[in-house]
């Protein structure tokens, strides 16, 4: 039986989804990504759930993709690995209900990408954000940053790989609110409660417009190439 890397707790019309790999700083392994997309697929069909909060266990939201898995790639399985990585991004981006990132700590590389694929971001004062992978030859997903912070800042963060703290993230619009570490989930629930005041059908109609406003075909083409597809 696979280890439970994603934990779900339902509170009324809200589902709290926790990345449960604290000992690896919630690194997004192939198995974790698989469990996350399967979890979201189930919640998409759950008519009791109107909004999902995504957070991480421990002091880190996510350190990004599990780099140890890259070391074991062979020419034979490399293409399948990158295809699955690309599909994971599409699955999260097209989740049909509002998705709130409760950023309990740093969000780096693929962890930052995951935060950007959410509709709202509530950050701990201890959180920081960075695309360090450019220093190691991996391509940051500029296509996820650009709609959130604008073209100039997206290029800045993608090319430099510099770290920004929670206050700068708030100033540039990367996050919606910054709160003390012990208030992150509580504040995310406040956002969720406001969202839950509306009908599920209306919320899903708005989310559909948000998804359609993103040129998914173009995003898929560019991101697939960046991910090695």
Residue with tokens 């698989």: 34
| Residue 117 near residue 149 (C-beta atoms within 8 A) | no
List the chain pLDDT tens, one digit each, 229 residues: 468 999 999 999 999 999 999 999 999 999 999 999 999 999 999 999 999 999 999 999 999 998 887 677 677 677 777 777 888 999 999 999 999 999 999 999 999 999 999 999 999 999 999 999 999 888 898 999 999 999 999 999 999 999 999 999 999 999 999 999 999 999 999 999 999 999 999 999 999 999 998 877 777 777 666 665 5
Does 1 map to a domain? no
Domain count, the chain: 1
Backbone φ and ψ for 126, nearest 5 degrees, come out as -85, -5
Residue with tokens 């800045």: 156
What pLDDT does 224 receive?
65
Does 11 map to a domain? yes
- 133 noted as active-site residue: yes
- CATH number of the domain encompassing residue 21: 3.90.226.10
Helix, strand, or coil here: 73? coil
Does 20 map to a domain? yes
Report d(CA 118, CA 52) in Å as an integer. 10
Marked catalytic residue, from 31, 133, 186, 197: 133
Tokens of 70: 């890259």
Provide the domain limits for residue 109: 6-226
Report d(CA 62, CA 71) in Å as an integer. 19
Does 86 map to a domain? yes
Q: How many helices (H) and strands (E) does the chain have?
A: 10, 9
Does 69 map to a domain? yes
Report d(CA 123, CA 185) in Å as an integer. 9
| Residue 97 near residue 49 (C-beta atoms within 8 A) | yes
Which residues, at least 6 apart from 2, have a Cβ–Cβ distance to it below 8 Å?
31, 35
Angle between helices 30-45 and 75-93 (to 10 degrees): 30
What pLDDT does 225 receive?
67
Backbone φ and ψ for 109, nearest 5 degrees, come out as 50, -120
Backbone φ and ψ for 198, nearest 5 degrees, come out as -100, 160
Provide the pairing of β-strand 177-179 with 120-124. parallel
Which residues, at least 6 apart from 130, have a Cβ–Cβ distance to it below 8 Å?
106, 108, 109, 112, 157, 161, 162, 163, 164
């Amino acid at each position: 039986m696979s280890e439970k890397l994603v934990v779900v707790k339902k509170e009324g019309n809200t589902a709290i989804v926790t990345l449960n790999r604290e000992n690896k700083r919630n690194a997004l392994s192939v198995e974790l990504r698989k469990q996350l997309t399967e979890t979201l697929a189930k919640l998409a069909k759950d008519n009791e759930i109107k909004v999902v909060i995504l957070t991480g266990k421990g002091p880190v939201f996510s350190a990004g993709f599990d780099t140890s898995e890259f070391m074991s790639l062979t020419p034979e399985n490399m293409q399948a690995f990158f295809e699955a990585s690309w599909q994971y991004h599409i699955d999260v981006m097209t989740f049909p209900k509002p998705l709130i990132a409760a950023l309990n700590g740093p969000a780096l590389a693929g962890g930052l990408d995951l935060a950007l694929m959410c509709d709202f971001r509530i950050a701990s004062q201890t959180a920081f954000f960075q695309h360090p992978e450019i220093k190691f030859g991996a391509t940051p997903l500029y296509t996820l940053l650009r709609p959130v912070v604008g073209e100039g800042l997206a290029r800045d963060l993608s090319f430099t790989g510099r770290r920004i703290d929670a206050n700068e993230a708030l100033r540039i619009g990367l996050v919606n609110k910054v709160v003390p570490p012990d208030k992150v989930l509580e504040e995310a629930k406040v956002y969720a409660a406001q969202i839950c005041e509306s009908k599920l059908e209306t919320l899903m109609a708005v989310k559909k417009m948000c998804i359609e406003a993103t040129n998914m075909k173009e995003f898929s083409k560019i991101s697939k190439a960046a991910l090695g597809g």
